[in-house]
Structure 1
Amino acid sequence: MEAGIEQLYTLAEAIGIARRWWDVNGTHQTVTDASLAAIATALGYPAESERDIARSLERLEAESRQPPAMIVTEAGQPTPLPASIARAELTDEHGLSTALPVENWMLPPVDEPGYYQLSLAGHELTLAVAPKSCPTVHDFASGKLWGPAVQIPALRGAASHPFGNFGELDEAVQLFAARGADVLAINPVHALFPGNGQGFSPYSPSSRLYLNTAMGAPELLGLPPLPERTGGPLIDWKGALPRRLADLRKTFAGLDDATRARIVRDNAPHGESLQRQALFDALDVHFRARGADGWQDWPAAYHDPDGPAVAKFAAENRNETDFHLFAQWLAREGMTRVQADATRAGMAIGLLADLAVGVHTGGADSWSMRDAMLQGLTIGAPPDPLGPHGQNWMLTGFSPQGLGRAGYAPWIATLRSALDRAGGLRIDHAFGLARLWLVPAGEDASAGAYLTYPFKDMIRLVALEAHRAHALIVAEDLGTMPMGFAAPVAAAKMLGMRVLWFERAADKGFIGGQDYAPVSVAMTGTHDTTTVAGWWTGRDLEWAEKLGRFPAGTTPEEEAGRREEDRGRLWATLTHNTRPRPAPDDPEPVVDAALRHIGRSASQLAIAPLEDLLAEREQPNLPGTITEHPNWRRRLDAPLAELLDKPDNATRIETLDHARKE
């Protein structure tokens, strides 16, 4: 059995499953043999017995001899060929073959970034040549730029809607452009499940290739606007999303022939992939009405996108599929209009889109790209002080092996989709380009392990697609950074995130903004952190006490005492104690100072959540909660134009704008 265990470790290492890892406290942790076997098996390399493991190792060896579908390299650099191509074989007259050593078989440098067809030793493959780095802020404009981060559903505009859509976003970009902003960061707008009022988190999409059709705004494309409907301070997604789907159906039914022809023409370049998305949405609506939650709950005959049952459904439900094609067109062309309006209004970058780390296990991407996706595994995080049992986000993502077989086509398509209608892209949990914590189905998050991804290829393809789109890239690098991550990302000139709360010195004080890395984005917070006003007043501590989220053995009084010490540290950094420290119930001066702090930072870009520009105390999302906190449900209490004109809010925006221009 000992030999079998050693073979299991060999198999795990060959696949890229890390048997050992370091936790957030610097403690060495070891993955159980059972977890290694389960993850290897889910990745397509059975490991339940010594015989299974031996066969899986044989399969890996055979795969290593196969030429890749794509080679990814960097412009101006010679490229070593993989062993599957950089080899020579001598065969005698009796048919006996002997491998000959071939050393330093290199492709000469290619200077121009792009995709090339390459023929090597009888094999046809794609050569992707990436630039040395992504575009930087200085490729868009001189000086230091700034902008807000907004949650689109939270926006209110001139018309009354139960949640904000691309119409309110279009108004927001023009309002902020007039106030000096060059970028507007948004939450993910990936496709959700149409009309499903339960699954509304923007970070659990059905597909990252297509858009959330509930965001469509017909008036942006010259169509009659959606009917006005009232909404409260919290979004009632359960009622609002089904009503929005019904309103979009009425808009579709009223289209004239010329508009329908226009939709067909505009959709044509998006080909079979768009057709498949619309078909998935039609199937999801059909079977969800019967209690299904994801394609795994559909009858088995519909699990195959190319199967006869799906083809029959498509033929018999053409109008329904056409509706979902219309809804995707409305969202896509509407977002394109918003980006055009942003740059036309003077923004150097415009929209900064957000790429979620994964997709819903029962969504369109999982259904239509099954060979490239993880199966039987979900993405999460290992145990740490904030989550003693680990986290299981119940998302799936690309399989490294599947990406290799597909020549990275799904990753490239995902990047292009995100960059097509924006001036930049934030990559959520960018550590996932190097490794992901994967949890076997049915197991606790603590039973997971890290799986290595082809990091160098992934970031080079990001740089190539950013170059082709002339787009800025922000890499969300918060948390425990994998070894070897920082240097390649810095070389690629992806902007790291420097969030006020996490920029601490060894003495626990906050570091000065002048010490932030220039190639970074300075932020007062994110959608997952407390607002400045909420932190100063202790609103986040109130939530922690209410939900029992204080560290074990800590009392509310102790946490309040630590916060008071931290207030002193923050105020000293923000003002050098040149002014009296405000009382805990007086957060506005602290918000002003925090905005000035990131404005004066060395970072090339500064982004402030809209909640901080408005000195709000509540945050959009509280990680680790689902229903305990109103995640993704908060709305502005008035139209954005009115709020931005209020003297205190206008002054805060001017403070940030002036600090950037000093």
Structure 2
Amino acid sequence: MTIFWGRASAPGWNCHCGLQPGYYDLVLEVEDAGRVERGETRLVVAPSRTYSPPCLAQGDKLWGLNLPLYSLKSDRNWGMGDFADLREVIDWGGELGAAFVGVNPLHARIPGEEADPSPYSPSSRIFRDILYLNLEEAPEFQECRAAQTLWADPETQALLGRLRSAALVDYAAVYRLKRQVLGLLYQTFVERHGPPENPLTPRGREFAIFVAAGNLPLLRFGQYNALAHYLGQSDWRVWPREFQHPENPAVDAFSRQHREVIHGHLYFQWLAAGQLDAVQAQARKRGLPFSLYQDLALGAHPGGAETWAHPHLFAKGADMGAPPDAFNPGGQNWGLPPLVPERLRQEGYRLFIDTLRANLPPDGILRLDHFMGLFRLFLIPQGRGAP
């Protein structure tokens, strides 16, 4: 769409086109002595002020609940809190008059049984942690005899009992069990509804639409997870060199050979997106003015999906942290690579925009961990530990 067309002779140019707040791609063509030069940039049109909900404008005093979702215990979850447990908390909060329910970051974790479980060192901040899935709510669970047989097995039930009663979350055991069942569910999905490139039913077409809408970022996430499983190593920095960059020919060849495995990881994300949507719908139904209060981690794990998909955007040889203070006299090293502002700017802030859009809930609140990180960061040379 061409919003404005004209000629300019001065070095400066002001566009008063009445653009609505949003993101635009500005294309500038300059003709000089018969030669045309073309440049492109991202135009960010910001509102004059942030949105203020009516309840705040009226001066209402509001309160909410805040909890780490993984810590919730119930007699039906699989050893850690899940989206079904979160809906129950929302019901309880709604009865008490809460304005919101806050949770820890729900970002996708590093894959693997022994991976770092910290929600503040995620594999990707755009996608979701599949361990929060309530697998029994997935339609394919009701259609998958193998999954139901595994779940009903006395050994599985005994394991679930131990996981539910444990003082701490056994992430390795929860991951192992849920990942096994998810694989069975995707097999059932393909048999009944078809793969995304050839859907056979309305549900199959819904998944195909999700895959198409996710575009390249979703594909890269699926490729990373499939490679991590295939290579038995989640840190892409130690993968064979031909797999260390997403645009390498070897990655394309791998994707063609392991397409169904990649699609399985996209299916897991589709389930997570649907269950999180149901959580947010429950919050609106219960009348919580701000529904969910979500949390955005400052950065991503250096060996995870986000840094693999965008290696050029992250600085090498440095970790983010904090200088010594009264709380931590020895300082802090968070082990997260910083984004390079100029490179982010050159790409029109697309990764930052996609990250915000993926985490800001409708009618909800998003907390930015370490908000000052938008203005300045304390960097530590890699390998030196805390300052």
Separation in 2, partners of 1:245, 1:397: 31
Which residue is equivalent to 1:118?
26
Which residue is equivalent to 1:217?
134
AA matched with 1:280 = Y
1:422/1:245 CA distance change after superposition, 3 Å: farther
Separation in 1, partners of 2:77, 2:323: 43
Separation in 2, partners of 1:265, 1:431: 37
AA matched with 2:43 = L
1:158/1:308 CA distance change after superposition, 3 Å: same
Moved over 6 A (4+): none
Q: Secondary structure at the match of 1:159?
A: coil
Q: 1:293 touches 1:362 (CA, 8 Å); kept in 2? A: yes
- Aligned-residue sequence identity (percent) comes to 32
The equivalences for 1:487-526 within 5 A come to: none
The equivalences for 1:148-167 within 5 A come to: 148-167=65-84
The equivalences for 1:154-303 within 5 A come to: 154-224=71-141, 227=151, 229-230=160-161, 231=163, 232-255=166-189, 256-257=192-193, 258=201, 259-287=203-231, 289=232, 292-303=233-244
Is 1:327 matched up with 2:244?
A: no
Which residue is equivalent to 1:134?
50
Shift, 1:325, TM fit? 0.8
Name the TM-score, length of structure 1 as normaliser. Answer: 0.49
Name the TM-score, length of structure 2 as normaliser. Answer: 0.82
1:109/1:435 CA distance change after superposition, 3 Å: farther
Match of 1:304 among 231, 245, 250: 245
Match of 1:415 among 349, 356, 372: 356
Match of 1:338 among 251, 255, 279: 279
Separation in 2, partners of 1:86, 1:414: 39
Separation in 2, partners of 1:422, 1:395: 30
Q: Secondary structure at the match of 2:321?
A: strand
Q: 1:116 touches 1:126 (CA, 8 Å); kept in 2? A: yes
Count how many residue pairs are aligned between Structure 1 and Structure 2.
Answer: 344
AA matched with 1:243 = L
Separation in 1, partners of 2:9, 2:296: 36
Shift, 1:157, TM fit? 3.3
Separation in 1, partners of 2:79, 2:24: 48
Q: Secondary structure at the match of 1:394?
A: strand
Comparing 370-379 with 404-413, which one deviates more in the overlay? 370-379
AA matched with 1:245 = R
Shift, 1:401, TM fit? 1.5
Separation in 2, partners of 1:244, 1:86: 63
Separation in 1, partners of 2:363, 2:127: 14
Q: 1:140 touches 1:349 (CA, 8 Å); kept in 2? A: no
AA matched with 1:374 = A
1:396/1:263 CA distance change after superposition, 3 Å: same
Separation in 2, partners of 1:208, 1:409: 14
The equivalences for 1:546-625 within 5 A come to: none
Separation in 2, partners of 1:252, 1:117: 38
Shift, 1:344, TM fit? 1.3
The equivalences for 1:102-113 within 5 A come to: 106-108=14-16, 110=18, 112-113=20-21
1:367/1:160 CA distance change after superposition, 3 Å: closer
1:384/1:341 CA distance change after superposition, 3 Å: same
1:241/1:279 CA distance change after superposition, 3 Å: same
AA matched with 1:365 = E
Q: 2:322 touches 2:331 (CA, 8 Å); kept in 1? A: yes
The equivalences for 1:52-91 within 5 A come to: 88=11
Match of 1:386 among 321, 327, 338: 327
Q: Secondary structure at the match of 1:254?
A: helix
Separation in 2, partners of 1:127, 1:384: 39
Is 1:373 matched up with 2:304?
A: no
Q: 1:115 touches 1:127 (CA, 8 Å); kept in 2? A: yes
The equivalences for 1:470-485 within 5 A come to: none
AA matched with 2:359 = A
Shift, 1:321, TM fit? 0.8
Q: Runs of 5+ in structure 2 lacking a partner?
A: 1-7, 31-38, 152-156, 194-200
Match of 1:403 among 344, 347, 355: 344
Is 1:441 matched up with 2:382?
A: yes
AA matched with 1:332 = A
Q: Runs of 5+ in structure 1 lacking a partner?
A: 1-84, 89-101, 447-662
* Structure exhibiting the larger radius of gyration computed from Cα positions: 1
Q: 1:150 touches 1:186 (CA, 8 Å); kept in 2? A: yes
Shift, 1:221, TM fit? 4.9
Q: Secondary structure at the match of 1:149?
A: strand
Per-residue CA deviations over 1:565-617 (Å, capped at 9, x if unaligned) read: xxxxxxxxxxxxxxxxxxxxxxxxxxxxxxxxxxxxxxxxxxxxxxxxxxxxx
AA matched with 1:418 = N
Shift, 1:106, TM fit? 4.6
Q: Secondary structure at the match of 1:333?
A: helix
Separation in 1, partners of 2:219, 2:334: 29
Separation in 2, partners of 1:246, 1:188: 24
Separation in 1, partners of 2:209, 2:17: 40
Shift, 1:311, TM fit? 1.3
Shift, 1:118, TM fit? 3.4
Separation in 2, partners of 1:160, 1:418: 24
